[in-house]
Amino acid sequence: MDEVTVKVRESGPYLVRGKVTITDCDGNRYVVEGDNVALCRCGGSRTKPFCDGSHRENGFCATERATLVNERA
């Protein structure tokens, strides 16, 4: 199985790298071309769930960071 990664872009979309299948709430599959897809998180995209760059125009600002966690074996 190939690795899939999700990168949270500062004030931008979720960038998903790797082969994924995206389905809607009814189980219908979206066509995903290639191994990279940007998913909207600003809510302004006209092509949801995909990013269309609307975050650049609508003032979306998100700068959250992951909490550092100490892993114990």
Q: What is the average pLDDT value for the chain, to the nearest integer? A: 91
> Please, what's the b/e burial string for 52-73 (b: 16 or more CB within 10 A of its CB; e: otherwise)?
bebbeeeebeeeeeeeeeeeee
Distance CA 3, CA 28 (A): 24
Domains and CATH numbers, the chain: 1-73 (3.40.5.90)
| Residue 54 three-state SS | helix
pLDDT one-digit tens code per residue, 33-49: 889 999 999 999 999 99
pLDDT one-digit tens code per residue, 45-62: 999 999 999 999 999 999
CA 10 to chain centre: 12
